[in-house]
Structure 1
């Protein structure tokens, strides 16, 4: 039963990192040789974002089991340790009973929780530069960049789960389509409507950063959380054109983040 529940959730929440690309653009156009300083791999699955020398921000559901505190973590080649894991007060763990049939109850659950966690490191990171967080509330229509290195695919065939083992580093661009109190969404447009390097999250992107650039400076605006879907869950296919990814809206939670860091720093 637990395997069934985890499989169902992995269809929607994005576990490690992935990039699904336009079918008419070469894969090499999306490739990167090295990650940005702020992109950090989590110990089991998923990723996190370096937001200050001693703090990471990620999706709550990438903390897959108890025992992360005290666990070793590699910060782009330099060993560190997780000192503390602090979930947002409104984070909810996945229920014991799997969602089946119509996707609405699952969507209600995913939209209803705050899928964020702060991770304190045992010592400050000195070899990487944290990314600034976006404090304004003007996300609507912003052109974004997202990074990933897991399962790949195209908008026609969707994500190909078996490619996750290769873990190539990629990026893609997209645009913020909708803004709500706690979430941002991006749609994977078909080539005639999409950006030159349009893409979308695939299976395995939880906790990763979506950023914007303004006046020559990069800002974190979203944490990758889940995929929106309407219909029968058995028909879900991730990464196809017109699919929608949902991000936790960083600007909505800056006060919480600041309070936690100030109180525990």
Structure 2
């Protein structure tokens, strides 16, 4: 029952990462030939981000079962998971929220802390961790988002059949708001969009959103969920006008440091 619940939530959290694209831009423009070293694929689906040579940051809802002892392939080398830390403010919704009007489920998603840390048994020696953005000025910044989830476009929405292809894409968007522990962006129609405007899709959860400042790349967010309205049975992800929610990593620096600093 718990596994079934998590599969349902993965559909609505869209979070485990490929991209929903502009309908008027060739799909190949969004393809990534070589994954950044800090992008980590998790055992079941979704992604994590290497923030330290032994630590991976992800969203909590990608932890489908006990990952301790599982191996992660990082640049063709396997690393074993030693321990998983889920934020104490993370909760799973009651199944009553997964039917009928979406408003209670959306409020639930917004209230929880969807973040987790994975500790590896050994140091990663063949990939470079990414730095965490330490400021609080994410709003209006252009972010680049990576993922291997379902694809589609803003007119037809995401095509869940493509989720299994696991092809790496990237897209860009502009942070519309940065409040509490969330940052948001809106999937705009082409007239108001960036050249590679996009939206995360099912299978994108935990995928990183990054910014460039000078020659440095910084992690600002983790793909988590999409805002939706109406009845859950009519939901279609990835349409133009949809708002995406990402974990605001800068809000969790204290929690991250409390674990990474004490568990080197």
Instruction: Check whether TM > 0.5.
Output: yes
- Normalising to structure 2: TM-score of the pair? 0.96
Query: Does 2:26 align with 1:23?
Result: no
Of 7-16 and 86-95, deviating more is 7-16
Q: Which runs of 5+ in 1 are unaligned?
A: none
Whole-angstrom distance in 2 between the partners of 1:83 and 1:4: 26
Whole-angstrom distance in 2 between the partners of 1:155 and 1:100: 25
Q: Residues 154-165 of structure 1 correspond to what in structure 2 (within 5 A)?
A: 154-165=153-164
Aligned to 2:174: 175
- Are the structure 2 counterparts of residues 13 and 3 from structure 1 closer, same or farther at C-alpha, using a change threshold of 3 Å? same
Query: Does 2:207 align with 1:212?
Result: no
Whole-angstrom distance in 2 between the partners of 1:15 and 1:175: 18
Aligned to 1:82: 81
Once the 2 structures are TM-superposed, how far is the Cα of residue 61 of structure 1 from its aligned partner? 0.8
Aligned to 2:251: 252
Q: Please tell me the root mean square deviation across aligned C-alpha atoms, in Å.
A: 1.5
Aligned to 1:44: 44
* Contact 2:15/2:207 (8 A) holds in 1: no
- Normalising to structure 1: TM-score of the pair? 0.95
Cα deviation code 1:175-215 (max 9, x no counterpart): 00111111001110000000011000011111110011111
Q: How many residues of Structure 1 are paired with residues of Structure 2 in the alignment?
A: 264
Q: Secondary structure at the match of 1:135?
A: coil
Aligned to 1:237: 236
Query: Does 2:38 align with 1:57?
Result: no
Of 49-58 and 227-236, deviating more is 227-236
* Contact 2:10/2:61 (8 A) holds in 1: no
Once the 2 structures are TM-superposed, how far is the Cα of residue 76 of structure 1 from its aligned partner? 2.7
* Contact 1:4/1:98 (8 A) holds in 2: no
Whole-angstrom distance in 1 between the partners of 2:2 and 2:69: 26
Q: Residues 50-199 of structure 1 correspond to what in structure 2 (within 5 A)?
A: 50-65=50-65, 67-199=66-198
Once the 2 structures are TM-superposed, how far is the Cα of residue 230 of structure 1 from its aligned partner? 2.1
Once the 2 structures are TM-superposed, how far is the Cα of residue 73 of structure 1 from its aligned partner? 1.6
What stretches of structure 1 move > 3 A for 4+ residues in a row?
Answer: 1-8
Once the 2 structures are TM-superposed, how far is the Cα of residue 96 of structure 1 from its aligned partner? 4.2
Q: Secondary structure at the match of 2:247?
A: strand
Whole-angstrom distance in 1 between the partners of 2:198 and 2:118: 28
Q: Which runs of 5+ in 2 are unaligned?
A: none
Cα deviation code 1:98-155 (max 9, x no counterpart): 5211111101111111000000001010111100001100001000000112211111
- Are the structure 2 counterparts of residues 88 and 133 from structure 1 closer, same or farther at C-alpha, using a change threshold of 3 Å? same
